[in-house]
Amino acid sequence: MALEVNGKTLDTDEEGYLSNLGDWVPEVAQAMADADECELTDNHWEVINFLREYYEEYQIAPAVRVLTKAIGKKLGQDKGNSRYLYQLYPYGPAKQACRYAGLPKPTGCV
């Protein structure tokens, strides 16, 4: 599969995750969200940016349980709970947000 962003064609895997982490620009998240008919708010971006920083530090995309706990620690308990995160990312906060963030599919998500 492929994704059109800024006139460039980017490779993705069969589930829509970017093949090449280095291809990511914010417009990638926007293009994926447009395709899902999901409107990206500041709260969505907060999670995307958080995931990119997490990957930068640990070289893995966190499982949803770990993501929830880590967000709670960094951004507060009102955001570090699955209800809040599923409202933002109904397809699964780790899976969907990791895809928008250009990361691989989280380890441990089926």
Partner 1 sequence: MAGQCKKIMYLHRRAPYGTVYAQEGLEVVLIGAAFDQDVCMAFVDDGVYQLKAGQDTSAVGMKNFSPAWRALGDYDVTRLYVERESLDERGLREEDLMPLRYEDENDDWAEKSSIVIVDRKEIGRLIDAQDVVFNF
Stretch that binds partner 1, among 5-13, 32-40, 57-65, 92-100 (CB under 8 A): 57-65
C-alpha–C-alpha distance, residues 31 and 72, integer Å: 28
The least distance separating partner 1 from the CB of residue 11, rounded to whole angstroms, comes to 18
Q: Which of 1, 2, 25, 109 does the annotation list as catalytic?
A: 109
The nearer residue to partner 1, 58 or 91, going by C-beta atoms, is: 58
State in angstroms the smallest separation of the CB of 89 from partner 1. Answer: 18
Of the residues 41, 59, 78, 83, which one makes contact with partner 1 according to CB under 8 A: 59
Cα 27 from Cα 29, distance rounded (Å):
5
Q: What are phi and psi of 12, to 5 degrees?
A: -130, 165
CB of 92 to partner 1, least distance (A): 13
Respond yes or no: is residue 109 known to be catalytic: yes
DSSP run (H or E) holding 5: strand 2-5
Residue type, 13: D
For residue 47, which of 58, 35, 55 has the smallest C-alpha distance?
A: 55
Residues with catalytic roles: 109
